[in-house]
Amino acid sequence: MSANEEGGIPTESESTVDLLVEIQKMRSELKEDIEKNQKDTADKLQSIEASISKLLESNVKKIDKSKVPATITTTSKTIRRFQLKNVFEDIANFEEDDDNYSEWEEHHNVKWRMRVARRYNHLVFSVHCEPHAPADNWSIRTKLEWKVVGRKQKNVIKSGRYCYEKSYGTGFYDFVDWEALKKWYLVDGNLTVEAKVTILETTGLGIKKIREFDESQKEASDVILVVMDTKFYVLKMYLAAQSTVFKALLFGNFKESDQLEVKLNGIHPDDFHRFLEVLYGEPAIDEFNVEDIARLADMYDAPTAIRQCEEFYLEKSKKPVHMKLEIATRYNLEKLKEKCMSDIQKITSKDSKVSKKNPLRKLIGL
């Protein structure tokens, strides 16, 4: 029996084998620890990434790719829509050749209004526009829908396309027979009409710029936003600080975050220029563009711009109170909404004779 078999001192070769086995065991344990640490690290990174994504999702009101402005290349046109609505009073007493106009409304840097008239025993219904400071050659190519609202949902709707090139209107000279108008469409002698306007393309309606975002700003920018064929040189970090949508688009899990140029669609370069000026602290808001800026501020979730638009409506805007209330409701401008409701209540309670037929009563549920 050898000494080893009796439990004595091991030989040199046996000791070496045991040492190699121990080293191999240690290596295996170390490898397992490394793999475990790597897995823990990967799990932690994945958890952090998920938390960041959740935080971004919360900050941008659950914005996903369908919410962020699309990045496909746009054509040389963009589409802008709005609706005109008016109640023309005492239409039942119109004589031949009598007419009336609604108040001017500002939409997309252009004044718009509707006209109704009695001609050849028919209703004439047209939509008119008047740009602000247009170029010598200007045009507004549109798609229009004219609507006369009748009793019991009996409406008359006609549509067409028209290119405005002068400050006059377009519509129908025989929209509806006058006797049929009185029978089916007048309520207490009044006529309610609507017009939906879709602007397809404009020329010669440029804006006066307060601040430049062209190639002269190249050295002070790190991304180019492309709207139609216009490039805007801006800073990612600055826009991200102003807008949660830009934060998600330029720093989130979108392919645009790695691109030098980001294409936006569904907006007009003039509107976007004014919006950027507001984000960069310029006093760019006026009566003609405040609605467009408010729309983009809401689209890109830019609280500072939204607040400035609301302050303009509260302090400077001359728009009718019902228009302000519609805008306040559309963009969740709570202070403006409260002010409008208060003003409407004062108007409708001041003169009971007027308030009984005043359409403002419907806005406050009277």
pLDDT at position 7:
38
* Residues 296-344 pLDDT 10s: 999 999 999 999 999 999 999 988 898 899 999 999 999 999 999 998 8
Q: Please state the pTM of the whole predicted model.
A: 0.59
Average pLDDT, the chain: 79
Query: Which among 88, 161, 95 is positioned nearest to 125, based on CA atoms?
Result: 88
Q: Please give the Cα distance from 161 to 130 (Å, whole number).
A: 17
Q: What are phi and psi of 300, to 5 degrees?
A: -100, 10
Alpha-carbon torsion (351, 357, 360, 366), positive or negative: positive
Strand, helix or coil for residue 258: helix
Closest CA to 130 of 146, 145, 115: 115
What Cα–Cα distance (Å) separates residue 194 from each residue in 8, 37, 83, 147?
108, 68, 7, 5
Nearest CA to 201 out of 162, 169, 146 is that of 162
Helical H runs in 94-242? 178-184, 236-242
DSSP string, 260-308: SEEEE-SS-HHHHHHHHHHHTT-----TTTHHHHHHHHHHTT-HHHHHH
Helix or strand (DSSP H, E) at 52: helix 12-59
The pLDDT of residue 25 is: 58
User: With contact defined as beta carbons under 8 Å apart, do 108 and 80 qualify?
Assistant: yes
Q: Is residue 326 helix, strand or coil?
A: helix
**Distance of alpha carbon 63 from the chain centroid:** 13
Ordered domains of the chain (ranges, CATH)? 80-203 (2.60.210.10), 215-360 (3.30.710.10)
The whole-angstrom separation of Cα 144 and Cα 115 is: 14
Cα dist from 93 to 89, 99, 160, whole Å? 9, 11, 29
Residues with Cβ within 8 Å of 210's Cβ and at least 6 positions away in sequence, in order, are 277, 282, 283, 284
Instruction: State how far the Cα of 287 lies from the Cα of 346, in Å rounded to an integer.
Output: 24
pLDDT for 358: 52
Element containing residue 23 per DSSP (H, E): helix 12-59
CA 277 to chain centre: 16
Contacts of 273 (CB under 8 A, 6+ apart): 207, 209, 213, 230, 232
d(CA 295, CA 271): 9
Contacts with 13 (C-beta within 8 Å, 6 or more apart), sequence order: none
pLDDT value for 277: 96
pLDDT, one tens digit for every residue, the chain (366 residues)? 433 333 344 444 444 445 555 555 555 565 565 455 545 544 544 554 444 344 444 444 444 444 444 333 333 345 688 999 999 999 999 999 999 999 998 888 789 999 999 999 999 999 999 987 777 788 999 999 999 998 877 899 999 999 999 778 999 999 999 999 999 999 999 999 999 999 988 888 777 889 999 999 999 999 999 998 899 999 999 999 999 999 999 998 777 667 889 999 888 888 999 999 999 999 999 988 899 999 999 999 999 999 999 999 999 998 889 889 999 999 999 999 999 999 888 877 765 455 444 555 555 554
